[in-house]
Chains A and B, each alone.
Chain A
């Protein structure tokens, strides 16, 4: 059995802490910066929930009950699904080109879910009740219940998988945990789409599009996150050259991303076309994207920044020019964040009584994020970046050598592991 006592602390925690501290000035500056921003975000969220009241502190209101905090949660958990799926291509389904990405991807998948949980925890009015009543009073017909529960299980499976990935003798167990992680991530992600797809009072969201779209979008987001974080890890954190196997993996990820972006173009085209002849209020919602208050977001950010420019850049990079690939991934991630926000807001922007033609709801709703909300969003992003920076040092840049066993000290393989410097 693993001894988590003093010996384990001395052999694992202390050296990990020393590696973080010896990361250099710039590294520590960013650790400090993201740490502070994360704390500020948490403080802003707690202030909004328990002191000021969300009615005053957040930009949401009766007609727009959920907004940028939910879209940020979606941004993170969809990214987590994507990271899990793309990494599973290698270490679960055996495609060799993707294998070098496994450890970092699984780690990123865990921290992105946790970032999502942090943000939604500061969005939900009674987060403590959620913990209790999700368990003792479940509603099995609720997509939200399934989504939350499945993402909870996904964190457990991914964590188990991550631990097993560091123990050579446990590869088979890692594959099983990874497979369970993939299943729960897909189910959770699809249920997240189902939350909106089953809102039959909201015609813009209603229908089978979003559960399918979310899986596609997850894969694209996963590819973008992988390129971004592998690049940052090597160029900015560890300063180690990217090995050939990882370069080949990035090339495969780049090709996959291009294919998926092509599919996304088809998806988007048909979503626009089918919605344009649908329910009158969903046509109004669509028009806010095509030629209304959200047209800049849609054409310039979602379409140009989210699909076309990354596709061209990835094509130009041939999967080899890392600077261009990194640029493409940054533009994609930025655009995907706004795509999520647009989807949430535009789905609510048309008043429910629009068709009734009443004076009170003759204008479209408007939404502007409050300072509190922006701080919580920054807090979530900072949590993700902070844990990434710490993870790179704690887990030796996710390389193959020098791992002490995380689980079983008496494993036969443990003797073969190199001593730490």
Chain B
């Protein structure tokens, strides 16, 4: 009985507190204090602007291979592309990695910048979902999007589905070809670094295990001083290739 009375009292007290808080919130909203507060709260704003939360929390693979591209360091020397072609036997009509050029005439310093591109090894890969024969799949250990060439029927639906134009049909392999973070050519043989990353003279391409807090990729992705972003985030493919400047 006494307990019940106390409970009712607590509920009544909670109700009063709740109403008071709601009233204060309305007041703060009207006076703009809350808006000002959120502008000053830089950390929460960075989280919103660059959606760090979508890729900072969960790393379902071990090792969870990822790459951070420090975009402003790229000088378009194309050594990464050459190394990729040599390492993975990429034919002249295809590419696994490429460098795009963006012109920015309105800029007050350099008028253009370079953007390296490769398969984003997405956590939610549209190519894997759409493949009718499971010829392309996520490697269960490291999360790399792989190809099982003998299962590829060449319908090219994965090429349609890929938001990053990362795939092409390889005539010699009679299958779709794509970047596999050098898994077949290097990582499976004990190498710790991918060919493009090794060849880059400007240290643009930082490759590593995102699930390892000691790795460079982890540290670059998890710092808040410099913005980190992914390409075409709105697609929801959850890429494992990140971009940053500085």
Interface of A with B (CB < 8 Å)? 53-55, 60, 62-63, 65-66, 124-127, 129-130, 133-134, 137-139, 141-145, 148, 195, 198-202, 348, 351-353, 355-361
Contacts and interface: CB of A to CB of B under 8 A. Distances in A.
Given A129-B150, A202-B160, A144 B169 contact: no
B152 interface: yes
Contacts of A148: 132
Interface in B146-197: 150-157, 159-165, 167-169, 171, 174-175
Given A133-B151, A133-B153, A200-B236, A143 B101 contact: no
A66 B155 CA distance: 8
Given A137-B134, A138-B132, A141-B129, A358 B94 contact: no
A352 B164 contact: yes
Interface string B210-246: 0000000000000000000001100111000000000
A198 B100 CA distance: 28
A55 B100 contact: no
Contacts of A357: 102
B162 to A, nearest CB: 7
B171 A55 contact: yes
A361 B161 contact: no
B133 interface: yes
A127 B156 CA distance: 12
B100 A124 contact: no
B153 A129 contact: yes
B54 to A, nearest CB: 15
Tell me which of B93, B164, B169, B231 has the highest count of chain A C-beta atoms within 10 A of its own C-beta. B169
Contact of A356 (B100, B169, B174, B235): B100
Given A138-B134, A195-B130, 13 more contacts: A54-B169, A62-B165, A65-B169, A66-B156, A125-B174, A129-B154, A133-B153, A137-B151, A201-B162, A351-B165, A353-B117, A353-B231, A355-B232
A65 B159 contact: yes
Contact of A125 (B151, B169, B237): B169
B121 to A, nearest CB: 15
A53 B171 contact: yes
B103 interface: yes
A54 B169 CA distance: 10
Contacts of B129: 139, 141-142, 198
5 contacts: A62-B165, A125-B154, A125-B156, A198-B130, A200-B235
A125 B134 contact: no
B93 A361 contact: no
Interface in B52-68: none
Contact of B174 (A126, A133, A352): A126
Contacts of B167: 62
B80 interface: no
B155 A130 contact: yes
Given A199-B161, A201-B237, A356-B102, A144 B232 contact: no
Contacts of A125: 152-156, 169, 174
Contact of B115 (A66, A198, A356): A356
